[in-house]
Structure 1
């Protein structure tokens, strides 16, 4: 595949082509199996980005809060028609109009001041104030917990945005390459990498779960040996790992099973060796 077509496959996966470029690449894909395989690999790599972020379930209290608000929020009465409102106002004015000056009636009652609250009422007010203070403290704890969860979500979103930006750099590079290998157990490992960018996206799917003291270690292999490129959690192996660093002279990519803390050099036979 020539350089120009290789650039188009990465941009096609990111939906960054104009109509003419898209039609050109689709024609090339129909005529060339290499181009078609490259397009499919790039699309798979881009689509798997979403799988690299762990799903975040909303807190259970969200539904409870919504249902509580529905139960406790009073419904407004239907609005009266304009003529009904006018009739009600006229009736109220008639009921409260002062009697005619020619009519005689009893002397108006003297204004009576409301009685001072009784001692028992003051105790009830004090108790209510104490309850409000306790409720305010509990509400403060809920708000703090919500803030912590909000911060966690924001951190996860920032990490996902960073990973997406790095993957975009890889797929937009002029020398982007993509490789997919299926293991004997059906697991799949897809690589998308750019030597000029010094970056590689490693997507794993179906790797068997490992004991808690084991993990999958990634290796960049050259004529001088293997250099560790990071770890994949053995308990949650499906996802995407971004590898960065110089790829000068790197000819192969490998995966071995190592202690969860990692090893400075491979200690077991590789489960995957992929030529780059």
Structure 2
């Protein structure tokens, strides 16, 4: 099985639509290729977002009474009760009792469409109605679901990396307090190979300045990109490779970052990772 075939099975698994055989193939492929777990996780997340996008709808007030009344008139032995809906048909039944007996006998032996027996046909109709109801529910929620899916697929790279780090078995983090009372937390994972800085309560800068990230390795600062704060918050993905024991630092530089690749101000954030 290749990755594309597994992706199709993963989509079906997320929707609970796999047959028993496909379910076995899906789990066997996942056991043999644990790196495909991220595909399954992504499909499960999308399915959950679509489900959350459907707003709850209150049932009609008379639904319970109608349902109980229907149950009271429905045979409980598996037979199907069909009410006559044609007035002309009722008149014909009154005109000829013998014709009615013959019609009843013929109906009891006549196969349904597709060769089904009378007992099978209602079951198939019920399955079709159930499928149509499921499609209708999906269409009702597709507007909100599409918005949620679009938001999920267009997440910033820093948010995606943060979620991957936090899901990793070797995820680590360290926090410091900011001078203005906020906090800054560094998140990193060796297996993911990424580091993300999350700041809460950090001051916004004028248009001619940016915050610049640094990996400080011994005495050597290595630029890791610039970021901006909005409404006192920031989530920034550090570019470059983090080494064990690096200090994650932030300085205030001119817009676009330090022109010579070295900090020009003292760090406003410094988070040791060792």
TM-score normalised by L of structure 2? 0.41
Higher relative contact order (CA 8 A, sep 6+): 1
Instruction: Select the structure of larger CA radius of gyration.
Output: 1
TM-score normalised by L of structure 1? 0.41
